[in-house]
Amino acid sequence: MTRARLLMLSLGGTITMVPQARGGIAPRLGAAELVASVPELAEVAQIEAESLARLPSPSLAPENLVAVAARIGQAFAAGADGAVVIQGTDTIEESAFLLDLLVAGDRPVVMTGAMRGADAPGADGPANLLAAARVAAGAEARGLGTLAVLNYDIHAARFVQKTHTTLPSAFASPMLGPIGAVAEGRPRFFARVQRLPTYPAEAGPPPPIALLRWAMGEDGRLLAALPGLGYAGAVIEGMGAGHVPAGAAEAVGDLARRMPVVLASRSAAGPVFTGTYGYPGGEIDLIRRGAIPAGLLSGLKARLLLGLALRGGAGRAAAEAAFTPYQ
C-alpha cells in the first residue's frame, strides 16, 4: 500500500520548546527533530519536514500564515496529499481559520501543537503530532478545509477555540463540538462542514483591522480614533447577540461611514442577530447604521476574514460579500 505524502511545517510553539539557561522554556526543536521523535510517523506517511519559523505563537502574524499557505499550495501542486502545520496553541484558532480561507481545494490541512513542553512529564506533543498526521493522510478529511487536531479531537477551523490556559483538553468548538476524533489509530468523523469561499494567498497579508470587545459602561470614545491610526476596518464584539449601549450607537454609525465595521458577539457561541432587538444600540439599530453582521464567526475570526476581504483597497461591498456565507 502506497503511503500518503505529507508536508509538515513547523512554526515553533510549546511543542518545540525545551528549557533554556535563563529560565523557562523557549522554541528550539525543528520540524525534522519533531518527526524523528515520533517513529510511528514513518508508518503513516512519507513526510517532508520544514521549519519556517521558531517562534512562540503570540509572535506569529498573518504574514507568517500567508507564507505557510503559499508553501502548502506549492506542495499540493507538486503532488502532496496533505499538510500538517505545527505551532503554539495560543493562536491556533486564528491560524487555522486563516489557512481555511487561504488554501483552496480538497486536500486536508491540519493544525496541531501541544499544551506541555517537549521535556515535560506527559508531554502531549508526540500524540498530537501523530494524530494530526493520521488525519491529514486519510481520505476522510478531504473536502473539510483546515482542521485542528489536539487531544485526539478533530475541530473545524471556523469553530475551534482555545478555552483553557493549561489543560491538554484546552480546545473546544462551542458552536458545534468536535466534528470527529482519532480513536484506535484512525480518524472517525461525526459530522462534515461545507467548504466556504477561499482567498488567494498571492494577494498578500491583510491590512490592519481593529478588534474591540464591548464592556458594560463603555461609551465608544475610542472608535473615532481608529481611522487615524491606520486601520482599514474594525470588528466590534458586542454584548449578547450583538448589542452596545444606546449612547454608543451613534459612534458606531459614525465609524461605519468611514470604514467597514463588522458586528460580532463577545459570547463564546451563537450567531449575531439581525432582526430581533430594535432598541437603540440593538443589532437592528446598528445594522441600519452600517454595521455588517459577522454571522457565526467569533470576533477573532471575523477580524481575519474582514482583513482578507479588504486587501487591495476593497471597501464595504467586498466586506458584505465576504460575510454573507457565514450568516
Q: Is the pLDDT of residue 27 over 80?
A: no
**207-326 maps to which CATH number?**
3.40.50.40
Residues 6 or more apart whose CB falls under 8 angstroms from that of 321 comprise: 309
Quote the cell numbers at residue 133.
498526521
Look at 23-27, 50-54, 179-183 and tell me which has the smallest mean pLDDT. Answer: 23-27
Side-chain-side CA neighbours of residue 234 (13 Å): 29
Per-residue pLDDT at 25: 77
Give the closest residue to 232 by CA, choosing from 211, 202, 254: 211
Residue that has been written with the C-alpha cell 496529499 in this structure: 81
Split at pLDDT 50, 70, 90, the class of 20 is confident
Fold match between domain 4-189 and domain 207-326: yes
State the pLDDT at residue 1.
61
Q: What is the rounded CA–CA span in Å between residue 132 and residue 323?
A: 29
Length of the chain: 327
Domain 4-189 fold is: Rossmann fold (3.40.50)
pLDDT in tens, 79-96: 999 999 999 999 999 999
Q: Please state the domain extents for the chain.
A: 4-189, 207-326
> Taking 70 as the threshold, does the pLDDT of residue 122 lie above it?
yes
Is the model's pLDDT at 120 over the cut of 90? no
**Percent of the chain surpassing pLDDT 70:** 100
- Of the residues 14, 91, 112, 146, which is catalytic? 14
2's CB contacts (< 8 A; 6+ apart) are: none
Tell me the pLDDT tens digit for each residue of 132-149.
999 999 999 999 999 999
CA distance 309 to 11: 25
Query: Is 89 designated active site?
Result: no
Distance CA 245, CA 282 (A): 8
Q: For 260-283, what is each residue's pLDDT tens digit?
A: 999 999 999 999 999 999 999 999
- What's the whole-number mean pLDDT along residues 111-126? 92
Among residues of the chain, what percentage have pLDDT more than 90? 93
Residues 6 or more apart whose CB falls under 8 angstroms from that of 313 comprise none
